[in-house]
Each structure stands twice: as structure tokens, then as C-alpha cells.
Structure 1
Amino acid sequence: MDTNSIGTALIESEATGLMSRLDQIKPFVMHETMVLAAALPRDAQLLIERFLHTGRHELRVQIGDFLDWLHSDGRTATPAEQQRRFVLIRLQFNMVLSQFDMFTEVVTQRSEHSTGVWLSGLDILAQDALRLGRYDDGDARLVVYLARGAGAAIRRAKTRLPGGKPNPVGIIRLPRERMVGSGIASSLAHEVGHQGAAQLDLVTSLRAELDRRAAQDPDGGWDVWSLWISEIVADMWSVATVGITSTVGLLAVVSLPRYFVFRPGGTDPHPMPYLRVLISAALGNALYPHPQWRELAAVWRAMYPVAGLPDHHLAWIRKRESHIGNLVEVLMNHPVALAGGRKLGTIWPVRQRQPDRLLSLHEAWGNDFGIMARQRPALVFAVLGQAKAAGRITAGEESAQLSSLLTAWAVRSSLDLMGSPAPPGLPAPQNPTTPALTTRR
């Protein structure tokens, strides 16, 4: 055989090999084992399966067309042209695998004992945190998984995946070390805030307003707020959703060695941790006026006193700190075009999250599991987090209650999908005081 024939045979063999390996990729419903209560939300699973099926189908067609070309006009093409076309197809194959592997990480954890069911409950919490006081079929669908490390993250729905296609669902990564307690709600609601802000185009409109103010008042610190606005608005979403639970959780996340708490961020979109906690507390006080926010800010300042910082750095921090009130005022009064022009501070169910009301609800519920299981998950996390902050329950009691409630919401959701109404309140698991998931390091 001549060189061209050998090259053609080699490329054809590789292409048919790609087709064989592609056929080995099965839908998740055929190879993942999990109890029904741990399954992804049905609409989210359908979006994922359809997305992956479409990618596999398109790639299969491309490989088939390439083989047809190789058997006809491609026979007389140069080995370089044959190789060029094959390499493009192989790159597309690797993109399909990357997309599959990304969702595999989300789905596989659903088979872990207890963890899988809790994740299903967190899916429900995430979807609830995205709603602005009502059910909205236009919202993106969100799914949750766990990872090592202290930080959470989101790959938002409709952002581009490898290969350029839009992500069918929002994927939220949460740190294992935060399971299970109200702190998980702080991180989750923050990541949901990124999705919600994108749906309402908040970052674009807020940054434009902050940039205008920076041009008019160069000494007002607006340039820094503009740089940090994507994270600040996500923090605002979290505070608005779960109240003081959010700021306490944020404080835990950014409790770092002193150097990192005061380190200038440069071009990092995350605010300096020292200022970030103070901004969160100020947002909380604007949404839900109460002395607890000033007390929490005072505790944070006592944990990280500014004494000893270089004079120029301290002056920079003090100046930004003095303008936090101006920033909060802008955020609260910013008109949201995609919410009918309403002010940003009014788009959440603010009246339901006032601290005194949350404590009243906790007292009225009386630790009745059946009552709490029938409430909106975000409200329950806000109530229990407020009760813990007020010293009415311990962290261990909060963790035990929330782990049982996550299970109950997951079971209720799975029963609803089966067409069977869930028993009122759903009975608590046999051992509701089981400790929370052990941290994996």
C-alpha cells in the first residue's frame, strides 16, 4: 500500500473508533444508581439528558459524514487534508466528553448515602432562593454538588460550555465542610444570587450607574464598588434571602489569616474580606433594621483590628468604609428594569425576613417538624439561622433539624413526581439527631 492509502486506512480506523467510544456513553438514567429521593429535579435532568443527547447525535452525524467523505471524494484528498478534518472531529469528541464529565460530577454524588438525598433537598432550596416571592417558570433550573475547599461557585445556566453551547442548567458547587447547617444556605444563596443577577441583568445596570458616579465623584470610592459589584449584588441576594444567616456564614468563610483579610484585591472581583463583611452587615441593616447588624459588625472589627496597618493602606480602607452607606443607598434604590422598574431593595419578600418576625415564627413552629417541612425552604433556613444567632438553638440542634428537613423536602419532591401526594408534614427520619455529614479533607 502507498503512503496515502495507509494514511486513509489509519484515519478511518481512528474515526470508527471514535464512533464506537461515543456509543458507549449512556444516559445517566441507565448507569447511575441512587434512591429516587436523591435524583436530580426532573426538569433539570431532562434538560441535561437532552443537551448531552443532542451533542452525541450531532457528533455521530459529523463522524458519519466524515467517513462517507473519506470513502468518496476524500479518497483522493491529501493525507494532510484528511488529517485536518479528522482532528477537528476529535476535538469536538473531547468537548462532548468534557460536557459529560462535568455533569457526571453532579450526578455521581447522588449515590452517596445520605449525601445524595441532602443534595436533592439543596436543589429545592436553590430553586426556592431564585424565586422572587412566587413561582416563576422562566427561572433557570439549578442543581447542586459538593467539592473540597472552602469556596463555593456556580456555572450559570446559559453560559457557554466547552464547544460553545449554552449550559442547560445552573450548576452550584458547595464546600463539603459546610454541610449541614445554615452556613450552607449562605454560600448557596450567594451563588444563586449570581444566577438571579444575570437573569435581571443587574450587574450591567448597576456597574453603569456606579461608573457614572465614579466619573462625577472620583474620590467617592465608586471605582472599587464597580469592580466588586458582581460579588456585592450576590451577597445582597443572599442577605435578602436568608437574613443574618448569610452574613454569619460569610464571616466564617472569610475568617482567614490577618494578611488575607486586609490584602488589596487588585483586579479581583471579590471585595476585600474586611470590607465585604461590613458591606453585608450594612445591607442586612438596610433590608431588616435591627441592632444585631451593628453588633455583628463590631464583633468583626474586634476580630480584625486595623491597628498596625501601614498608614496609606489604613487610609484607603477607612475611606472606603466611610462610603459603604452611600453604596448601600444606591443598591437599595436602584431601579430594576426587568422587574417592572421596582427598586432593588423591594424585589425580595423582605417583610417575611424581618428578625423579630423570624423569631416569632420559630416560637410559633415550636420545633414541630411537620410544620417546618411544609414551609418554603429558604424561609426555614432564615428562621433557624436567626434562632441560632439569637441563642435560642445550638449549632448542633440546627444541623440536626436541617438535615432532617432536607431529607423531607427531597422525599416530598420525589413523591410528587410519582403522582402521589406526600403525607402531611412527612414523618421525621427515625433518628433526627444524627450528626451532620463528616467533613472530608
Structure 2
Amino acid sequence: MRRAADTQFLVNEALALLSRLQTVRSFALSTPMVLAAAVSAPAQAAINSHLAHIAFGLRRKLKAFISWLRSPESQATDAEKAQARYVLLKLRFNSLLDQFDIFADVLSQRGEHGTGTWLAGLDVLAEDALHLPGGYYEPPPLICFLERGHGAAIRRARTRLPGGDDNPVGVIQIPRERMVGSGIASSLIHEVGHQGSELLDLTTTIRAEIDKKVAAGGPAKVAWQLLSRWLNEILSDFWALGHLGIGATYGLMSVVSLPSYFVFRIGTDGPHPFPWIRVRLSIALGEALFPHRQWADLTRQWSALYPTDGLPSGKQQLIGQLVALLPEFAQLVVRHRSPSLRGQPLAGLFPVAQRQPARLRALYRQWQARPALREDCAPSLVFAVIGQAKADGRITAGEEARVLTGLLTRWALNRARNYCGLAPPAGAPPPAGASSPHPLISRSHEPQFSN
């Protein structure tokens, strides 16, 4: 028999928890931001619906628990078991708060002047990079936020949040130090690649091909094993290359430009290739997608920045084995086919023809004469063109920042107009992708060229 004092204690604790639960309010009621800085309507709806579902469910359970405590039938349960039931409800409340804080950290930045709108523009870029024509999957909403540190990261949609619930949106963390320039796209689309690769199960199917190489043995076995271990990160770099061309590799070089000790620090138990070989992998994959002498020039540049001559012989031998495999490995990835790809080679999913260097350069020349043309293009194409121009030395850092800042703002504003049904100002061009099934992104806005 449980004492009355024990019952009253638990009732009070449960009522207090219920009161605290009432303070968890929808972000639509608590997060100030200009309309253009808001996350997309699907993302906002998904987040609010997700948190409301948990909150209302917990509220029902708390009320049922309080009613049970006050009922005669509960008196046969001892205090220890009643306390255990309460603690589970408290833990569920704490997991709700953990999830709430994850999204609050993201949404609170949308109130920062300038930054919030840029982030909304990056949301549009991320959605563009995840959207694949052909309906290979249903892309989840994506939202971006800035964080301290050197690298980007993603909390993928449909993975576990604290408490075990599925994440309703992909949350992409961008290093603040990379705002604003073409290099930001490399980091961002790399993280999008983690989401896309998972939706297509690419790591599993491509790793199965590599495992056959490992099983064959021979002197290259260790190198193939390392490529298999690093595959998830390599495929995300490949995703960025497919959308950005050489701009993805230059962005990667910026991220991994570290003291030589770290660039050549070979870890065999982590998911990331060591920086030196990671850049060479990006170059090899880029050359397979976009054949051009610029990749050989970039190889020479990287080798000059980080020569391998003075490395210990063991490291030089392993690097030599990996470099020897790069052409074969690149073709394995580019030509990979699997059921999720419906028989298409992996490279066929990306706008490879529109990202060839000659076409990117031609577009840049057109945009120099008529800058308004770039406003109707897919965001990833814009970053690819600017990245190629940067690699060619045809655009200054200041001009790059000015152009991209203006376009990020325009993409954010266009999205706000689309979702809110607002008419554009008189004389303004139509929002990119407004007439397409996807309300913001359309490959039809990528210029077509004849050979």
C-alpha cells in the first residue's frame, strides 16, 4: 500500500511537469524573423507538427498518470513502481526539450540581420542540390544554420533524435568562417550528399563492389580497404562535384589546408580520408566527370603545396598505392549502377553536361554582359559558374562576395513570395522554378547549349 504523502508528492511533480510542458510553444509564436529569412513552409510545418505530436502525446500521458495516481486502483502499487512510471515521463519531457533546443538553435539565427536571409538562401541551394529529376526519392526539407568550428555537418532527416524520434528535417551546420563565398557551396553540398547518398543507399551498393576488389587480394588490398572505409565521405564529395565542378575541389582544398602534419596524418580507423588523398580523390572524380587539363594543373598545385618527398617510406608507399588506384576507383563510382538508380550510371543523376568547364565559362561571359540572366538559373549552377571563374582567376574575392550575397538574398525572397503567394514587384523577373512541379528549383532554368 502506498502512503498518501507519496501519492501527493508524485501528483505535485507530475502537475509541475505538466505546467512546464505548457511553456513549450510553437516556433511560429516565438521566433521573430523577416519573412525572407524564414525556413521553408514544409520545414516549418514538419518541425511544428513533430514537436506538437510529442508534446500532446506527453500531455495525455501525464494527465492519465495523475488520474491513475488519484484512483483507488493505483493504491496497490508501491511508491517505487509509481516513481519509475513518473521518471519515464520526465525523461520523455527532457528529450522533447533536447529536440526543441536543436531546432531553436537553428531558428534563432534567422532573426540576425543579413545572416538570416543568407541562411534562407542557402536553404534554397541545399534543396536544389538534393532535388534529382526523375523522382528517385522524396527529398525531405532542409534547413541551414551557422556554427563555430572549421567543418560542416548534417543531422540527416529520418535519423534518430534524442528520445528515439525520427528527425523530420535535415539540419545542416555551416562554419561561420566560410560565409560568404563560393567555397560555402562545397561544404554545404557535401553535407547534402550525405543525405542524398543515404536515400539512394549508395554506400552499401558501391561498397559491395569494392569488397570484391578486397576479396581478390593482392598488393592493393589495403588501399581498397581504406577506400571502402572512407566511402561515405568520398561519395559526399562526389555529390558536391556533380553540382559544382572544380569549385567543389577548390572549396575542399580551402577546408583541408592545414599544417603538413595534419594533412599527411593517416588514420586507418576513421570515416574521413586524410586530407592529402582526399583532395586527390576529388581531383580524380572531377576529371572523370569533367575531362579537362585543369585537373592536371590542380594536381601539380596541390603537390607543390604539400610535397610527399620528405615523408617516411611507409607513408610514401601507401600514398603511391592509393594514387595508382584513383583512375580505376573514379570509374567504379562514376559508372556504378544499382536498383535504386534504376539502371542509370551514378553520374547520370547529376547535371554533368551543364557543368563542363567550357559551358561554365561561356555562361560567365554571358552573365558579364547581362547579369540578370543568372537570376533565373538554379542556385547550384550559379555557384558552379562562380567557382569556375574563381579557379580561372576571372573574379575577385570582393566581386564574388557581392554577387553571391545579392543572389542568396534574392533566392530567399523569391521563396518567401512563392510560399506566401505574393506578387513580385513590377518589372521583376519571375522567381526561379515558379512554374515547375518543385516550387523553387527547376533544371529547365539551366541554359541549354548545342555542341
TM-score normalised to the size of structure 1? 0.94
Q: Following superposition of structure 1 onto structure 2, how do residues 265-284 of structure 1 map, counting pairs within 5 Å?
A: 265-284=267-286
Confirm or deny: 8 A CA contact 1:99 1:161 kept in the other structure.
yes
Corresponding residue for residue 347 of structure 2: 345
Equivalent residue number for residue 21 of structure 1: 20
Q: Deviations over 1:32-63 (max 9, x none)?
A: 10000000100111011100000101111111
Residues 241-275 of structure 1: per-residue CA shift (max 9 Å, x gap): 11111100100101111111111112110001100
Contact 2:157–2:195 (CA under 8 A) maintained in structure 1: yes
Q: How far did 1:338 drift? A: 1.4
Structure 1 position 325, deviation (Å): 1.2
Q: Any residues of structure 2 matched to 1:248-259 within 5 Å, and which? A: 248-259=250-261
2:429 corresponds to which of 425, 430, 439:
425
Query: CA separation in 2, counterparts of 1:353 and 1:398?
Result: 19
Letter in 1 for 2:27: F
1:11 deviates by 1.5
Q: Could you tell me how far apart the structure 2 residues matched to 1:317 and 1:115 are? A: 41
Offset, 1:339: 2.2
Cα offset, 1:367, TM superposition: 6.0
Paired residue type of 2:25:
K
Q: Quick check: 1:387 aligned with 2:386?
A: no
| 1:148 paired residue number | 148
8 Å Cα contact 2:226/2:268 also seen in 1: no
Partner SS state of residue 230, structure 2: helix
Determine the C-alpha separation between the residues in 1 that align with 2:369 and 2:200.
36
Distance 1:303 1:148 in 2: 27
Alpha-carbon distance between aligned partners in 1 of 2:136 and 2:224, rounded to the nearest angstrom: 34
**How many equivalent residue pairs?**
426
SS in 2 for 1:151: coil
Q: Deviations over 1:1-30 (max 9, x none)?
A: x98222221111111111001001110010
User: Which residue number in structure 1 is paired with residue 443 of structure 2?
Assistant: none
The question of 1:244 aligning with 2:246 is answered yes
For residues 107-152 of structure 1, the C-alpha deviation after alignment (integer angstroms, 9 at most, x for no partner) is 1100000000000000000000112246888212111001001110
Separation of aligned partners in 1, 2:327 and 2:424: 47
Distance 1:367 1:144, change over 3 A: farther
Equivalent position SS for 1:335 = coil
Once residues 3 and 70 of structure 1 are traced to their aligned partners in structure 2, the CA distance between those partners, rounded to angstroms, is 10
Cα offset for 1:161? 1.0
Amino acid at match of 2:28: V
Amino acid of the structure 1 residue aligned with 2:145: Y
CA distance in 2, matches of 1:169, 1:369: 34
> What pairs with 1:22-421 in structure 2 (closer than 5 Å)?
22-72=21-71, 73-133=73-133, 138-220=138-220, 221-366=223-368, 368-421=370-423
Call closer, same or farther: CA 1:142–1:37 in 2, change over 3 Å.
same
Runs of 4+ in structure 1 deviating by more than 4 angstroms, as ranges, are 133-137
Q: Distance in 1 between matches of 2:316 and 2:137?
A: 48
Of 146-155 and 71-80, the range deviating more from structure 2 = 71-80
Aligned partner of residue 143 in structure 2, secondary structure:
strand
Determine the structure 1 residue equivalent to 2:4: 5
Q: Please tell me whether the aligned partners of residues 136 and 341 of structure 2 are also in contact (alpha carbons under 8 angstroms).
A: no
Equivalent AA in structure 2 for residue 153 of structure 1:
A
Partner of 2:442: none
Q: Conserved in 1, the CA contact under 8 Å of 2:2 and 2:76?
A: no
Corresponding residue number in structure 1 for 2:439: none
Structure 2 CA distance for aligned equivalents of residues 307 and 82 of structure 1:
69
Q: Distance in 2 between matches of 1:318 and 1:233?
A: 22
Contact 2:207–2:228, Cα closer than 8 Å, also in 1: yes
RMSD after superposition: 1.6
In 2, distance between residues paired with 1:124 and 1:55?
Answer: 28
Q: Is the 8 A contact 1:373 1:426 kept in 2?
A: no
Residues 335-354 of structure 1: CA deviation (Å, up to 9, x unaligned) = 03212111112210100000
Identity %: 46
Normalising by the residue count of structure 2, what TM-score does the alignment of the two structures yield?
0.92
SS in 1 for 2:154: strand
Q: Give the letter aligned to residue 179 of structure 1.
A: M
Partner of 2:449: none
State whether residues 181 and 401 of structure 2, in contact with CA within 8 Å, keep that contact through their aligned partners in structure 1.
Answer: yes
Unaligned ranges ≥5, structure 2: 432-451
Structure 1 contact 333–345 (Cα < 8 Å) conserved: yes
Counterpart-to-counterpart distance in 2, 1:39 and 1:66: 38
Rounded Cα–Cα distance in structure 2 between residues aligned with 1:378 and 1:422? 23
CA distance in 2, matches of 1:227, 1:219: 18
How far apart in 2 are the matches of 1:42 and 1:288? Answer: 36
**Letter paired with 1:204:** T
